[in-house]
Structure 1
Amino acid sequence: MPGSTLLFVIFVLAATAVIAYGVYAFVYSIYIRYRYMSLGQKSEEHHDWDERLRVTFRQVLGHSKILKDRKSGIMHLFIFYGFFVVQLGAFELIIKGFVPDFRWPFGGLYPFYTLSQEFTVMAVIVAILYAAYRRFIERLPRLKPNLKATLVIYFIAGLMLSVLLSLAFEAIWLGLEPSWIRPFSSVFQLLFSFFPPSAAHWLFYFFWWAHLLILLSFMVYVPQSKHAHLLFAPFNILFSRMGPPSKMQPIDFTDETAEEFGVGRVEQFTRGELLDTYACVECGRCTNMCPGSNTGKMLSPMHIMTKIRDHLNEKGEVITSKSPWTTGRILGNPKGMVHAMEDVPFAHGAPDGFQPDPELHTDIRPTLHNQAKSFHLKDGDVMKINLIGDVVTEQEIWACTTCRNCEDQCPVGNEHLSLIYGMRRHLVLTQGSMPAEAQRMMSNIERQSNPWGLSRKDRVKWREERPDLTIPTVKETDDFEYLFWVGSMASYDDRSKKIAFDFVKIMNEAGIKFAILGNQEKSTGDTVRRLGNEYLFQDLAEKNIKTIEKYNVKKIVTIDPHIYNVLKNEYPDFGLKDVEIYHHTQLIERLLKENKLPLTKEVNERVVYHDSCYIGRYNGIYDVPRSILKSIPGVTLLEMGRNKEDGMCCGAGGGRMWMEEDEGLRVNETRVKQAMNREPTIIGSNCPYCLTMMSDGVKALDAQNVGTFDLAELVVKAMG
């Protein structure tokens, strides 16, 4: 018992008061953020709990997403599980302050428990030192070398050191000998063995208080910082949308009470979307992989999240009259600040000597600088701050290619595209605001059902260029197994027509019975939906579904991944049922495995393969195209530095195909440079949009010795 009975009573009262306040502040911070999230719209009901729990265990406990970055993933693994193990020792240490020499009743296992505690503490210290190295010495552009990040490192390092020092001085105070079961605290014990037991007694309590205060301060700080992901991320993953990734949700246009569509105010996001913003760990992985950020655009997915979160805190405080900061505004944003300057890496200059990765030809620093320059103080009423314009700029909203690289990389299950789609819908459907090229393209689709505004009556004419091929329409035959959905690109674009012709040749050769809709085929509306025109999309979807049902279609195949994705994953919401959807690579691979396509001619080419986002990250099809290339005699398959799940977008998705790229570097040229690092003779793709972007990039770089081909074209080359 320290000192006297009175001193001990004061100690107990003080410790109890500090612990009680810490717990209160911690719970209050979480409650306030729950109140703010409750300002949002109700999310859809959640089902599939078995799948949700599997995903949550895999991503939270298994670190499946975090380990995409192997180095930081392993570091986080040590810190994450280290905290679970150390908590048992932390409780024991706190009890020691009230009951000297307290031990958990583990019997003969106690020495091994003590040994595990010490090694775990050292493992966490090593991991946090590595985290500091990556942030402050290696200085990865995506990481923030600021006060908030530094505090977290100090908190964790302080917690671990206070444990070892408390145990060391406890041993000196109680006259314990250094032991193998306490290897690291014993080192400190030997270093400070010159202290007499009475001094060690007081030093034990000094470090005991240090540990308690750091622990409680960290606990209170967590909900108010980027480390709120410790609390919110597991729930964010648990309640994330199951099923097809990044699937867009329909708007109910029959609701006559609706005065606005989309998201123009932060409270119009769903509660699940607002939970995303609090779950964000600000690790920058999304920004590090985003094709917009990689090429110097204003768009940074991480900052979309953090800026909306900060705006929610400001607006939530006004609406609820509850401050989000339980410990003052020292680490929070001053009132009226739309964005916090210190939250931007390299706001005051990039690190000297840093060079972009020569393998990838990308550099996110210009985007981070652009974000820093856009941060400003907004005077006046917080309620008058515009979500679109003041918080998130239209420039950012329209720069997105919807490639899903951000979501695929996010370790906490954030769905960035849902936020962007909501704001795009508001701009298009409520404000009528969009880039001129997008408006023109939508008008063309509405009038003629194709992006160029060419006559809808000419949609079937493409087949007339190859009378040697059998290409019947559904009006000409009802004896077909597959409906070949040609798409606007292959119907009107000369280069894309060649893909359609070669795929038809493959089907003719294999004896596949198919038909096309001809002039009855309309745009599927995928592009207009991604751009925010949900009304036009739903009109097209309903008409297309009626046509599909009219001809009793059971199987559809297409050369366009965007069409494949929207028919397979989104049309069922509007009534498409019992129809199997195939991408042409899936059908080709099956025909090759069934030996229905004799590949007799060698194609002696070095083919570097580019993954289409809508086949890859949206639908998980990575091996099928590679299997086709491996089946072609003479082909040497090459992989880019960024491939499969990490593959970089060509720049055409999300409607960007139809808009000018006048900011930063061109995405397609950057992707072609990545391909050229492998010294290919051909860049292979499986999407008419990708093929167009790759071809344009090759021309821009004057790479005269490199061809661009769809996989169907390469298969036909091998057919002889």
Structure 2
Amino acid sequence: MTYIGIYNFVWVQSYEAVVYGLGTIVAIILLYSAYVGYKRWTYGNEKIKWPSLSYIIRNFIKYVIFQWKILRKRFPGTMHALIFYGIGWLAVTTTLRAINAHIVVFLTGDTFYIYKLLANIAGIIAIVGIIIAIIRRSLKLTKNLPQDPYYYLVLGMLLVILITGFLVDGIAAVAYRYTWESYWFDPIGYLVFLWSRTVPISELEVIYRGLWLFHMSLAMLAMALIPYTNLWHIYPAAVNVSLQREGNIPDGIKPVVDIDEKIEKGKPIGIVKLSDTSWKQRIDYDACTSCMRCTNACPANISGKILSPRDVVINMNNMIHKGMWDENVIGNKVIQVNPEAIWSCVTCGACVYECPVTIHHLDTIIDLRRGMISTSSQDIPEDALNALYRLQQNGNPMGMNPVDKEQWFNELAQKFGDEIIAKEGEEYDYLYWVGCVTSFDPRIRPVAESVIKILKDAGYKVAIPVEQGCCGEPARSIGDEALYVEYIKMNLEMLNKYKFKKLLLNCPHGFNNFKNNYKKYKSYLLKDESTKGYVDLLEKLEVEHHSVVLSKLVMEGKIKPNKELRYVLTYHDPCYLGRWNGIYNEPREVINKVNGLRIKEMPRNRENSFCCGGGGGQLFYEIKRGQRISTMRAEEASKTLGDSDNKVVAVACPFCNTMFRGESGKFGFNVKDIAEILNESLDNK
């Protein structure tokens, strides 16, 4: 009976030792490169903080095996999947063949047929993926893709390896498969076999040996070059997604828990020199694939600013690979990071959300801002410094007189009763943190008044603490970490005096701050006896945004809109409510319950929403380059609303409210918070 299975080293038996020798050299190169990479990540004897094994495995399966984030972009994701799964399976087949040759023979009979068929499919889809990649890059079907020749060299090498692999396999069929009549399991090899069997064996052996040597040498060379080409991302990217920061993407900006020690020793806070980066940030930089998803989603870049999140990461990576550990990261050299780029960021999180290998660009950008603030850099925008000064002096970044807020609180007490002002000893369903922008802007105060009225009508006990000021988020976004931690302690001390079930906010920035950011400072608070007790408060603190509360009320029928509002309306997703906290449905549930509204979605909505331009502290300062981000978003809203009368842009954020109001006159729409819209739809008689 004819043997059906793998034959090893047909016609090239004498080269077997060469293969294993080269394979050993390649393995040494790859292992050494991995070791060097690890040493870069742990420079300065920094220790990697390993999460649980189950966390690592879960992330590896989700992000590497199933390509979860890569496939979110259909065209490039499919292209990458074809290459990844194709070449990945061919690597598996090579491993299986080695096991079959040296450990146990199992690739025979039907198993061999399946093995060959899957290898054919893998090779075909990999070739298709590579051809698509070449066309995509050369025709610039994805914006901003680098056009460096080595990208094409790598793709070309992979293509040649795959094609020569099919040729070698088909010619080998003459040597040990010529009696088989059916080649359904090896369709590509069979096509080559049909030609090769017409060539005299003596000539075919010479052709085969030369082609086999070329294929084998090129494959070995490609593997040896992995650390020096964009294929290197395979290793650090897999590590990066497996060890990614815990929390919802794009959550995860690291706190500075040793800030007191740094201040005491006169050390800078954040990143000044390259050596100030953390092990996780360095893996971030090494993992970048230059896919450009971050830059193509960046509102600052799209509006004409010089910020490219990818370039920030690549510059950091280039400095690390050159060993520039004692060099300042910010500067005007080509390899350094341009400070204007860092101050152009609106911290919308689009870059982090889009990155297929879970790089946290904002982690680095905020750290670079911290570094500039802590060293009094000349590169800080003057308006940003003024906002910090006003925050220190007046308790709010706008520089408004605190007396104005107190007067408004008195007006609220007259309107809703004295019980609206929080008192120690009383217990409340909701303690309402109004926030600084809402407190001082007369055109946004009605948002808070609408929230209070709706909650009281629904039977909830709600109160406002009069001592409240800014949550500190502007200080953190601009990079004044020392001021930020003072606000954390001050605000937690104030909250600790009151009894309440939930903390309510109508500002997504404050909401994210209390819900996520403050809780990252638990270890810092535990260091001091005077702040240890605040950790218990943080542990039990429940924080809700007003859109979620209002949604519950209308969905449960506790609040029933009964007036028709004749608006053409589009809703803008705030970055810190949507992308940072995954709240998309609740605001829409509120406006969908209001009768008479004609609701239209902007092209960029939900996860793909485009920033209003007010994040990252830029409600208080502006980088005057290119178009205003708010203008671009307002224009999109205007086009969505069309030429109708009574057009409304619905928002759920005071920052967005402010930015859109600044553009409303130009584009002819009104700006209303969802709370105002809901309150307007109620019979208030």
Calculate the TM-score normalised by the size of structure 2: 0.89
Q: What residue in structure 1 maps to residue 315 of structure 2?
A: 307
Q: What residue in structure 2 maps to residue 461 of structure 1?
A: 407
Aligned length: 646
Amino acid at match of 1:483: L
- Once residues 23 and 476 of structure 1 are traced to their aligned partners in structure 2, the CA distance between those partners, rounded to angstroms, is 68
1:563 CA drift (Å): 0.5
- Once residues 479 and 259 of structure 1 are traced to their aligned partners in structure 2, the CA distance between those partners, rounded to angstroms, is 44
Q: What residue in structure 1 maps to residue 132 of structure 2?
A: 130
Q: What residue in structure 2 maps to residue 291 of structure 1?
A: 299
Conserved? CA contact 2:512–2:581, under 8 Å? yes
Conserved? CA contact 1:118–1:184, under 8 Å? yes
- Once residues 438 and 228 of structure 2 are traced to their aligned partners in structure 1, the CA distance between those partners, rounded to angstroms, is 52
Task: Report 1:464-503 matches (<5 A).
Answer: 464=410, 467-470=414-417, 472-475=420-423, 478-503=426-451
Amino acid at match of 2:516: N
- Once residues 53 and 661 of structure 2 are traced to their aligned partners in structure 1, the CA distance between those partners, rounded to angstroms, is 45
2:546 is matched with which residue: 584, 593, 611?
584
Task: Report 1:649-664 matches (<5 A).
Answer: 649-664=611-626
Q: Deviations over 1:72-130 (max 9, x none)?
A: 1122222222223212444577899x99xx98533322112211211221111111111
Partner SS state of residue 653, structure 1: coil
Q: What residue in structure 1 maps to residue 190 of structure 2?
A: 186
Amino acid at match of 2:493: K
2:346 is matched with which residue: 388, 401, 426?
401
Q: Deviations over 1:440-476 (max 9, x none)?
A: 1111111110112222233222245564344721249
Conserved? CA contact 1:40–1:271, under 8 Å? no
Q: Percent identity?
A: 26
Partner SS state of residue 231, structure 1: helix
- Once residues 51 and 339 of structure 2 are traced to their aligned partners in structure 1, the CA distance between those partners, rounded to angstroms, is 35
Amino acid at match of 1:548: L
Whether 1:549 and 2:499 are equivalent positions in the alignment is no
- Once residues 63 and 384 of structure 1 are traced to their aligned partners in structure 2, the CA distance between those partners, rounded to angstroms, is 36
**Judging changes above 3 Å, is the alpha-carbon distance between structure 1 residues 586 and 41 closer, same or farther for their aligned structure 2 residues?**
farther
Task: Report 1:654-693 matches (<5 A).
Answer: 654-679=616-641, 681-693=647-659
1:196 CA drift (Å): 1.5
1:567 CA drift (Å): 0.6
2:486 is matched with which residue: 539, 559, 567?
539
1:280 CA drift (Å): 0.8
- Once residues 505 and 8 of structure 2 are traced to their aligned partners in structure 1, the CA distance between those partners, rounded to angstroms, is 79
Q: What residue in structure 1 maps to residue 111 of structure 2?
A: 109
- Once residues 588 and 393 of structure 1 are traced to their aligned partners in structure 2, the CA distance between those partners, rounded to angstroms, is 43
**Judging changes above 3 Å, is the alpha-carbon distance between structure 1 residues 44 and 568 closer, same or farther for their aligned structure 2 residues?**
farther
- Root-mean-square deviation (Å): 2.7
Q: What residue in structure 2 maps to residue 513 of structure 1?
A: 461
- Once residues 56 and 99 of structure 2 are traced to their aligned partners in structure 1, the CA distance between those partners, rounded to angstroms, is 38
Whether 1:50 and 2:16 are equivalent positions in the alignment is no
1:477 CA drift (Å): 8.4
Partner SS state of residue 625, structure 2: coil
Amino acid at match of 1:697: E
Of residues 282-291 and 572-581 in structure 1, the stretch that sits farther from structure 2 once superposed is: 572-581
1:8 CA drift (Å): 5.8
1:419 is matched with which residue: 353, 364, 368?
364
1:248 CA drift (Å): 3.6
2:578 is matched with which residue: 588, 591, 616?
616
Q: What residue in structure 1 maps to residue 84 of structure 2?
A: 80
Whether 1:603 and 2:605 are equivalent positions in the alignment is no
**Judging changes above 3 Å, is the alpha-carbon distance between structure 1 residues 253 and 93 closer, same or farther for their aligned structure 2 residues?**
closer
Conserved? CA contact 2:349–2:575, under 8 Å? yes
1:136 CA drift (Å): 1.0
Conserved? CA contact 1:40–1:269, under 8 Å? no
- Once residues 217 and 649 of structure 2 are traced to their aligned partners in structure 1, the CA distance between those partners, rounded to angstroms, is 59
Q: What residue in structure 2 maps to residue 362 of structure 1?
A: none
Q: What residue in structure 1 maps to residue 670 of structure 2?
A: 707
- Once residues 496 and 82 of structure 2 are traced to their aligned partners in structure 1, the CA distance between those partners, rounded to angstroms, is 55
Calculate the TM-score normalised by the size of structure 1: 0.85
- Once residues 134 and 250 of structure 1 are traced to their aligned partners in structure 2, the CA distance between those partners, rounded to angstroms, is 42
- Once residues 402 and 328 of structure 2 are traced to their aligned partners in structure 1, the CA distance between those partners, rounded to angstroms, is 44
**Judging changes above 3 Å, is the alpha-carbon distance between structure 1 residues 538 and 41 closer, same or farther for their aligned structure 2 residues?**
farther
Q: What residue in structure 1 maps to residue 238 of structure 2?
A: 234
**Judging changes above 3 Å, is the alpha-carbon distance between structure 1 residues 507 and 93 closer, same or farther for their aligned structure 2 residues?**
closer
Whether 1:268 and 2:231 are equivalent positions in the alignment is no
Q: What residue in structure 2 maps to residue 695 of structure 1?
A: 661
- Once residues 41 and 283 of structure 2 are traced to their aligned partners in structure 1, the CA distance between those partners, rounded to angstroms, is 7
Conserved? CA contact 2:274–2:320, under 8 Å? yes
- Once residues 422 and 58 of structure 1 are traced to their aligned partners in structure 2, the CA distance between those partners, rounded to angstroms, is 29
Of residues 624-633 and 253-262 in structure 1, the stretch that sits farther from structure 2 once superposed is: 253-262
Q: Deviations over 1:531-590 (max 9, x none)?
A: 110100111110111111112344210110000010111223243422211100111111
1:225 CA drift (Å): 2.4
Flag structure 1 segments of 5+ consecutive residues without an equivalent: 320-382
Amino acid at match of 2:321: N
Conserved? CA contact 2:570–2:640, under 8 Å? yes
- Once residues 214 and 84 of structure 1 are traced to their aligned partners in structure 2, the CA distance between those partners, rounded to angstroms, is 17
- Once residues 32 and 686 of structure 1 are traced to their aligned partners in structure 2, the CA distance between those partners, rounded to angstroms, is 48
Amino acid at match of 1:397: I
**Judging changes above 3 Å, is the alpha-carbon distance between structure 1 residues 189 and 674 closer, same or farther for their aligned structure 2 residues?**
farther
**Judging changes above 3 Å, is the alpha-carbon distance between structure 1 residues 189 and 145 closer, same or farther for their aligned structure 2 residues?**
farther
Partner SS state of residue 589, structure 1: helix
Flag structure 2 segments of 5+ consecutive residues without an equivalent: 1-6, 526-534
Partner SS state of residue 422, structure 2: coil
Of residues 549-558 and 84-93 in structure 1, the stretch that sits farther from structure 2 once superposed is: 84-93
Whether 1:435 and 2:384 are equivalent positions in the alignment is no
1:152 CA drift (Å): 2.1
- Once residues 415 and 3 of structure 1 are traced to their aligned partners in structure 2, the CA distance between those partners, rounded to angstroms, is 47
Of residues 432-441 and 262-271 in structure 1, the stretch that sits farther from structure 2 once superposed is: 432-441
1:416 CA drift (Å): 0.7
Partner SS state of residue 468, structure 1: helix
Q: Deviations over 1:662-707 (max 9, x none)?
A: 11111111112222332252211100101111222333xx222x22
Q: What residue in structure 1 maps to residue 19 of structure 2?
A: 15
Conserved? CA contact 1:41–1:268, under 8 Å? no
Amino acid at match of 2:543: I
- Once residues 603 and 4 of structure 1 are traced to their aligned partners in structure 2, the CA distance between those partners, rounded to angstroms, is 80
Of residues 29-38 and 298-307 in structure 1, the stretch that sits farther from structure 2 once superposed is: 29-38
Partner SS state of residue 550, structure 1: coil
Partner SS state of residue 682, structure 1: strand
1:150 is matched with which residue: 152, 156, 174?
152
- Once residues 208 and 162 of structure 1 are traced to their aligned partners in structure 2, the CA distance between those partners, rounded to angstroms, is 8
- Once residues 502 and 291 of structure 1 are traced to their aligned partners in structure 2, the CA distance between those partners, rounded to angstroms, is 32
1:163 is matched with which residue: 150, 165, 186?
165
Q: What residue in structure 1 maps to residue 4 of structure 2?
A: none
Conserved? CA contact 1:290–1:406, under 8 Å? yes
1:637 is matched with which residue: 589, 599, 603?
599
1:260 CA drift (Å): 2.1
**Judging changes above 3 Å, is the alpha-carbon distance between structure 1 residues 225 and 602 closer, same or farther for their aligned structure 2 residues?**
same
**Judging changes above 3 Å, is the alpha-carbon distance between structure 1 residues 88 and 262 closer, same or farther for their aligned structure 2 residues?**
closer
Partner SS state of residue 656, structure 1: coil
Whether 1:221 and 2:184 are equivalent positions in the alignment is no
Amino acid at match of 2:260: T
